Structure 1
């Protein structure tokens, strides 16, 4: 749990609010921390879709709760992959 929290705050606030991730901060987090799990985070259409899907309240940022949604989805994907 501490690692998930630390990773979020490592990237949040570089561009704006310390409590949220901008699209650029999310891109940096995905490429640095999650490597190839989500494919190429430099792929702008893919990044736009991920960001849009995560931004549940449509405020143009990803807050911690929305970030945890990403973590949960990746965990479920990995679980399904390893069950095969």
Structure 2
């Protein structure tokens, strides 16, 4: 199973499940966000969450703002994982219960499944990133392989960072993929209009 794609689709499903309850189907209002956080990410539930997540100040949270929040939460959990690994010589056991928590944990696990095969256990080398993309993002991988822009990205990684991608860069890539997938779903022509 393609873990990155599954995690992204699960996060999309969660967002749209709650955004579709009232008003704008593409944004979470205060009530929808509170319910989503209480049900899906209870560790992150706060009364003032809308203020934290609403980056453009429109009083609602769109998918881009939501996925940025997920990226931050995932990066914080990954930092905790690394801290425990270095300090206590063991990884953190994540008690993921909800669909969102499971998606977040699977993103951390998939990164470390591929990182370190070539030496550095905390970064993906170019070869490891390509392998991860091929196996865990099979829908996206064929599009990237023939894309000159992607080759340029890999080339820049190799020259600037000795061919490695850290977890934060990986999550930024995943977030961009999630936004692109969401955009394609939202803007897909309706097949019922025939």
- Report how far residue 50 of structure 1 moved: 3.7
- TM-score with structure 2 length normalisation? 0.38
More helix by percentage = 2
Shift of 1:44: 8.7
Kept after mapping to 2: 8 A contact 1:30/1:41: no
Deviation at 1:38, TM superposition (A): 3.5
Instruction: Sort the Cα spacing of 1:16 and 1:68 in 2 relative to 1 into closer, same or farther, 3 A.
Output: same
Which of 171, 181, 184 is equivalent to 1:68? 171
CA contact (8 A) 1:12 1:22 kept: yes
Q: After the TM superposition, which residues 1-84 of structure 1 pair with which residues of structure 2 at under 5 Å, given as runs?
A: 1-39=104-142, 43=146, 45=148, 47-52=150-155, 55=157, 58-60=160-162, 61-84=164-187
TM-score using structure 1 length: 0.81
Number of aligned positions between the proteins = 81
Structure 2 unaligned regions, length at least 5:
1-103, 188-194
Larger Rg belongs to: 2
Give the alignment's Cα RMSD to 1 decimal: 2.2
How far apart, CA to CA, are the structure 2 residues paired with 1:63 and 1:13? 11
